[in-house]
Structure 1
């Protein structure tokens, strides 16, 4: 019995307290890197985009909005916003622009009445060819071609068509102007001055 009592010395309790304090501090530091869900929700709901620029041509609304790339990193890395910042530093010269096409009467714009193509051909154009119709002119006077497009299929649930446009090698401090040569709906050249920078998350 005496040996058992001696094994639980004050040194043992001090070491135990040290281990607990280290575990608690590690837990706090990991939590400090986590983005609270309500903040992520706020980024989704307000202020994380640049102002929308809309042009109305021949019954079609063309709306362009620049989106911060950090938002897309956050969607996949909500547990660690320091990682998001690192990813942004690696991709700071990339820009994402969201563009929506919507008919004034909420008609499906990919119908042959508006594109002179079959519906299947119009979908293919949106998904694979549309990127050739977009360029960006920067405030540094560089002209950048679109490097990729993502057509968001909504299967006729929403009254608009939306695509995400990707551009590379743009100075992060530059303002940009999006230039669209509308070959799909035959409405000529449309320019979007995206003067306001998107919010840096």
Structure 2
């Protein structure tokens, strides 16, 4: 009896801990499907997949997958239900951010690096570069780039960045980005985006 009295506080603590754990597990499964919960998880992951960098001829080529919810949320501030429904419609689309940066932080669009005039290099990276990118899916389908957006930073940042858009990729597929570098002439560069897609 004395032993039971001495152990009772610790037994009740263990029972309360187990009960609290069960309640919290039940609660988390209840809220797991809410859009707010999904976006909180994406925010905790930093919104992006792991950056994959390849270094060729003094240029760092970096590819990062960005979930489309990030861009949908920017246009529909705090309307999580609307963003979630838009995502369901567009769940087979992928956005990949690619950055190019010279080791000396030189402007990569200068003729020294592209063999084009500055104006022609800007045109190429803004429009024509999309034909240089494809994605290979887990099922070995080859998906061409369907669009590109060159983010102009007006020489404020030391890198050049493009956003690439791809369609018809199953949401759970891992992808490999293939770049046939026609702008800087460094051949075929591959990025295994194995940790994407990000989990929501």
TM-score by length of 1: 0.78
For 1:1-201, list aligned pairs within 5 A: 43=43, 47-201=46-200
TM-superposed deviation, 1:96: 0.2
Shift of 1:34: 9.6
RMSD: 2.0
2 CA distance for matches of 1:81 and 1:200?
17
The size of the alignment, in residue pairs, is: 165
The equivalent of 1:5 in structure 2 is none
Which ranges in structure 2 are unaligned for 5 or more consecutive residues? 1-33
Compute the displacement of 1:200 (Å): 4.2
2:155 and 2:197 map into 1 onto residues whose CA distance is 29
Give the Å deviation of 1:199: 2.6
Greater mean alpha carbon deviation, residues 74-83 or residues 139-148: 74-83
Equivalent in the alignment of 2:20: none
Q: Deviations 1:100-134 (Å, cap 9, x if unpaired)?
A: 00000000000000000000000000011000000
- Partner SS, residue 71 of structure 1: helix
Which protein shows a greater Rg? 1
Structure 1 residue 79: Cα displacement:
2.6
The separation in 2 between residues aligned to 1:198 and 1:77, in whole angstroms, is 22
Pick which of 148-157 and 77-86 moved more: 77-86
Unaligned runs of at least 5 residues, structure 1:
1-32
